[in-house]
Amino acid sequence: MNEQGGIEAALAPGAKTGEPARAPASAITTASLQPVRVDGTEMLTAVATPGNSAYKIGPQDVLEVSVFKVPELSRSIQVADAGTINLPLVGEVQAAGKTARDIEQDLTKRLGEKYLQSPQVTVFVKEYNSRRVTVEGAVKRPGVYPIRGKTTLLQFISIAEGVTEASDNDNIVVFRTTDGKRSAARFDLDEIREGRAADPEITDGDVIVINTSATKAALQNLLRVLPTTAAFVPLL
């Protein structure tokens, strides 16, 4: 079956091709939806992908910090629950929400200001331990947030201090990676708030993208083929 055939199969009876189905979530399962290939989504999910240079560090991650020719400053260190690391000379440094490259630049600056001449600092993530969810797009406080118990989509949007006036509430996309395979589901925030749709549970590593003009270009192809069914569609 080709991609178009798979998309048409996911639409509610009588719906026009290209229009999202509004069937209940129970009516459509991931298994019944054909995988779709959508370019341009990688940059939206990179911040939560271990091993990617854009990966945002979180609490409990273990960092390997190396200072060239200064072995006493080189060590493995775990990010504290508060999101910080503590190193000799520089003291406490904020790590959570930053990339390894960001921390390299921060440590290089701090060590160079008072202690070393032209320090060469290398930082990489040795262990990915943080349970995290990334909230991007039209929210007042986008970022990476820890999971503490069962938390839903609406709750994470609230944790991010709510949507902005620029949000497109019927085009909320959640990207999920399970066993190395990516999938995405589309949700209508207003329907969830009004109780006409279930508020989905968010899991470790999910990336929530609230559509804006900035993300529209990357999401427009996906939104054309992704039905609002609360079912996760495999991405190729």
Q: Identify the structural domains of the chain with CATH numbers, from first to last.
A: 3-49+131-234 (3.10.560.10), 62-127 (3.30.1950.10)
Q: Encode pLDDT of 157-177 as tens digits.
A: 999 999 998 888 888 999 998
**Is the CB of residue 163 less than 8 Å from the CB of residue 178?**
no
The residue with greater pLDDT, 90 or 58, is 90
d(CA 67, CA 82): 24
What is the rounded distance in angstroms from the CA atom of residue 202 to the CA atom of residue 158? 13
Amino acid, single-letter form, for residue 1: M
> What pLDDT digit, counting tens, does each position of 65-104 carry?
999 999 999 999 999 989 999 999 999 999 998 999 999 9
Mean pLDDT of the 33-41 span? 49
CA distance 100 to 58: 11
pLDDT of residue 220: 64
- Please tell me the predicted confidence (pLDDT) of residue 197: 92
d(CA 131, CA 172): 21
